[in-house]
Chain A
């Protein structure tokens, strides 16, 4: 039995440690001008809309630009197309303008006293889905659906791809266990492999070759340069037994290297947030004098109807 003195001493030590454990300190930042930030994904299937804002220290409301002071011009192969107009919130666009595959685009933005920014991108070749099949296999004691997406990679160049899966089904109330008529649509969580091995498709092991960003998974052609390739992915369809039918929209895109680097660094950044063990991450930017991403993307989609 430990004596009272021992207990007292323990508490004294612990109390001292805790009392001096935490304190707030302040750092003065060097004089630093805010920067214009651009998030722009140019898709031939969508009219052009980009997100424009400015960097801020603490309050996200400081990011909002006054639309009247924004001057944003889009150039196609060096020729000015038009100035972007305000759409809503921080979004600006050119109505009815659709970027074209193979063309070069640049965007110049100025705002008040802030330093003007420039960015460039091209619209890559459209990624084609050669075939989309489903396989049901008995894995780890249960049936598991695997979707096989067959595609062809262009040889000799580095290509970057993104895969998105949207599930749509009737709303299912888990508590009352009732299916309603209203439709629910959301990005599917799924895993992907790059090595044809279904066994590693578990949520315990996240193959780092791929990563998720903007509800899509990103892959490079490092493993299959110039070859026909099968992407196997397994969406989580736990509700299929309850809602009977699920619509699965599979979108497959070719993206630019800048988009891939941005997504990769964002993925690392996101993963390291709050971790004192991880090295700090700078998110990639291809905006000259500014921050953010301006990138082209082109792809194709297929729809699969899944029934119980």
Chain B
């Protein structure tokens, strides 16, 4: 208080005696990395003015490095105090140093042409090292000292914008960024790595639909999850599949959010494609560690996919025709600048194209023949309406379904057999969301979401003799999960150095573990025998609360700490947990920072899966009195450096322990889980994984790309498996390398190349056999024996893909021909190893196995268009 009175007194004293002459004088001075006190002393020496300041308010780590031959005193002072919270006033004999008032700038960042809000755009004040990124709704809030402010807003693929303003009061700032034209666009993949130097969030990658479209993939079918697999720490499962395994975790440990709604089965075509249509996606980010408190419910990753909002300026259309599918996206304003929509659909036709070939291969006569097929479609719709600058509502919906069918018709002279098999599965999600900016410091998002996943299997067999039905049997199975969630989230900036997020959400889960119905009729005169059995529906209530604070401690240190709490009520069981989260950032320089994080996560639902590919038969099940929640603790540390010409390097290490993991007991599978108490078919264990991730990238120039390398180990321990010893996780991958290159030859042609290498998946093979024979028993049988689970490795996986795009501007818009070559050198990578044949081994200590490879060299072609 005393010091404040002194400062006020000085202000009054000198305000009336302002010396024009001192201000007009120009000075030559040189500061060679000196402290503020030393700088003030130097200015005193040349100007004759004395300095009045509170020494405690001076930042001790601030260094002044500056020289001039002729500048007025005011500009010298501006330079000395640049990057501090300090202001000055020059009097007749004195220069008064005081702390500036802090004010808040809040607003939005959006694309100028379409009005699409930009997620994770950077707003950065280089003077104070303060920066924020826009949230999932394109909103930001930053608190800075009063006075002249120079903000830089950037978003890769867009021209950055420098905003100079004299900050005299809390200000609303709506920034409109302009997309780069193809000529200007030299930053190709920078959106993968936004603002990583100054953000406490570590282990995060982000990418846009534009990046996805440039990377060559199987059948030319652009896929979000397959692009993610090229990043360090994120592995693929089997070849061609889109499942992701993050830092040694299982596929069930990824929380996949589509516009904030959890999606339970992200696979089309048994996992060879993901359900996300890149043309409808605006932005996605994946967090592998250092989880902020606002996220919870899964152990290994959070994948947040945001759909486009729809162009609110003009109507637009884009689409493509490929080998597998065609896509069409329509968007436009309903009320310009207020209400917009986007509709996007995709449908495959591989089954239609392949049908003649299948019929030719299986037809044995006019009345006989077999055919089958697999197709999928998905549809995305989003509507948003802006009531005012402060209030906006969104409605989004996704619906997708896969259909697999097989019809066998075996027609004999006097008898016939007919088999009809159908397997269908799909997701439906809906979200209704209301954004409201309460004031410049408080933002609120309220949501009501619905998610449904369902699988239906149907089999019917009819046998006839002399046109008379002799036997008819049928089997129907259905299972699924349905969620209804209400949530409210707040972003709050109560103090200049704090950015607080808090909220809660409540989900009503309805698990439908599966009901099977058998029907058998073997005598037309007798009532059919029908049996139904399977798990009853399980209802559960999950409540989650969180609070986190992003706390700026000085100019170089930032801390994000928070707590995530959850309760899960199912039947008579209740589980509660408190999960602390902590992340720290230390900015060494503008180009170099160090981060560390600790995360405690829990997961109240389990996925029962024993197939390597994304079979829709995987079952989502809740915790029960017997099955406890999965838990994990992850420690991570990393450093990021940026170099000139767009080069950057990041290095991260992590250690993750997991508890209460579940798997099928030995010999059990999906086909036995429906019998008896399914919980008794499960084994419970622990896991651990650790590794180092290395990423070097180049984001500017005609040639860009990255090299990612992961060295990791992931293992499991189940008391009932492998005699309770640690054994490698199936997808334990010691080395995982991805090289991604993009080269732009000119405005019309760009080339993408990827090469991936991974240690082979682990595998169990028997070392030896012995005979099982009883006295007076039947013929001896042979028992294969192995020492431990997953002690062998499949051959290493590697593959080279090419993709080239030819763009051309037309009167109506832009067309692109895309040619691709998957697995260019036709590497026979193992998909699975099925048949053991030890007798063909070339010497006595070898075993031979049959390896099945699914994807040879595969060319692809697609045509896409975008209307002006």
Contact = CB atoms under 8 A, between A and B. Distances in A.
B792 interface: yes
Interface in B561-607: none
A26 B773 CA distance: 30
Nearest to A58: B838
A157 interface: no
A214 B663 CA distance: 28
A136 interface: no
B531 interface: yes
Given A23-B853, A141-B523, A13 B668 contact: no
Contacts of B786: 280, 282
A113 interface: no
Nearest to B518: A204
Determine which residue in B669, B770, B784, B841 has the highest number of CB atoms from chain A within 10 A of its CB, and name it.
B770
A29 B847 contact: yes
A54 B853 contact: no
Nearest to B683: A279
Given A2-B356, A60-B782, A63-B771, A279 B849 contact: no
B832 interface: yes
Contacts of A170: none
A209 B676 CA distance: 8
A221 to B, nearest CB: 16
A275 interface: yes
Interface stretch (A95-103, A119-127, A265-273): A265-273
Interface stretch (A30-38, A76-84, A171-179, A233-241): A30-38
Nearest to B792: A27
A282 B795 contact: no
Contacts of B850: 22-24
B723 interface: yes
Interface of B: 353-354, 356-357, 518, 520, 523, 526-527, 529, 531, 533, 610-611, 663-672, 675-676, 680-681, 721-723, 764-765, 767-775, 777-778, 780, 782-786, 789, 792, 795, 826, 828, 830, 832-834, 837-842, 844-858
A277 B848 CA distance: 20
A245 interface: no
A183 interface: no
A140 B840 contact: no
B667 A39 contact: no
Interface in A237-281: 265-269, 271-272, 275-281
Given A27-B765, A141-B523, A268-B668, A205 B773 contact: no
A53 interface: yes
Given A10-B356, A29-B845, A272-B669, A49 B775 contact: yes
Interface in A60-109: 60, 63, 90-91
Contacts of A140: 529
A21 B854 contact: yes
A91 B841 contact: no
A206 interface: yes
A282 B768 contact: no
Interface of A: 2, 6-7, 10-11, 13-14, 16-17, 19-32, 34-35, 37, 39, 41, 46, 49, 51, 53-60, 63, 90-91, 140-141, 202, 204-209, 214-215, 265-269, 271-272, 275-283, 291-292
A16 B665 CA distance: 38
B721 to A, nearest CB: 8
Contacts of A208: 672, 675-676, 680-681
Contact of A280 (B523, B768, B789): B789
Contacts of B777: 214
B49 to A, nearest CB: 81
B357 A7 contact: yes
B669 A26 contact: no
Given A10-B356, A20-B856, A140-B529, A27 B846 contact: yes
A268 B846 contact: no
A153 to B, nearest CB: 20
Interface centre among B611, B672, B837 (most CB of A within 10 A): B672
A13 B786 CA distance: 39
A275 B838 contact: no
B853 A21 contact: yes
B667 A57 contact: no
Given A202-B531, A207-B676, A16 B858 contact: yes
Given A31-B845, A204-B531, A206-B675, 17 more contacts: A17-B854, A22-B852, A25-B795, A25-B830, A25-B849, A27-B846, A29-B845, A39-B774, A51-B773, A51-B774, A60-B771, A141-B523, A208-B681, A269-B667, A279-B721, A291-B770, A292-B770
B666 A23 contact: no
Contacts of A292: 770, 772
Contacts of B783: 266, 269, 283, 291
B663 A279 contact: yes
Which of A13, A140, A214, A266 has the most C-beta atoms of chain B within 10 angstroms of its own C-beta? Answer: A13
24 contacts: A7-B356, A10-B357, A16-B857, A21-B852, A21-B854, A22-B853, A24-B849, A26-B848, A27-B792, A27-B849, A39-B773, A53-B771, A55-B768, A57-B768, A57-B769, A58-B847, A60-B771, A141-B523, A141-B529, A208-B672, A208-B680, A268-B665, A280-B666, A282-B785
Contact of B771 (A22, A37, A278, A283): A37
Contact of A32 (B670, B767, B852): B767
Shortest beta-carbon contacts, A-B, top 9: A268-B667, A20-B856, A37-B770, A58-B838, A55-B768, A281-B666, A280-B764, A278-B669, A281-B667
A91 B775 CA distance: 8
Nearest to A49: B775
B848 A25 contact: yes
A56 B769 contact: yes
Contact of B770 (A24, A53, A267, A280): A53
Contact of A24 (B523, B527, B851): B851
A10 to B, nearest CB: 5
B668 A25 contact: no
A174 B553 CA distance: 91
Contacts of A34: 768
Contacts of A32: 767-768
Contacts of B764: 280
Contacts of B667: 265, 267-269, 271-272, 278-279, 281
A59 B839 contact: yes
Contacts of B356: 2, 7, 10
Contacts of A202: 531
Contacts of B780: 60
A19 B856 contact: yes
Given A17-B854, A209-B676, A282-B722, A56 B841 contact: no
Nearest to B838: A58
Contacts of B778: 215
B771 A90 contact: yes
Contacts of B518: 204
B531 A205 contact: yes
Given A2-B356, A7-B356, A19-B856, A57 B844 contact: yes
A32 B768 CA distance: 9
Nearest to B845: A29
A276 B773 CA distance: 26
B151 to A, nearest CB: 53
A206 B783 CA distance: 23
Contacts of A49: 775
B533 A55 contact: no
A17 B670 CA distance: 28
Contacts of B670: 277
A304 to B, nearest CB: 22
Nearest to B823: A20
Residue from the set B527, B667, B839 with the largest chain A CB neighbour count within 10 Å: B667
Contact of A279 (B669, B772, B782, B785): B669
Given A20-B828, A22-B851, A291 B785 contact: yes
Nearest to A187: B778
A51 B771 contact: yes
A140 B838 CA distance: 47
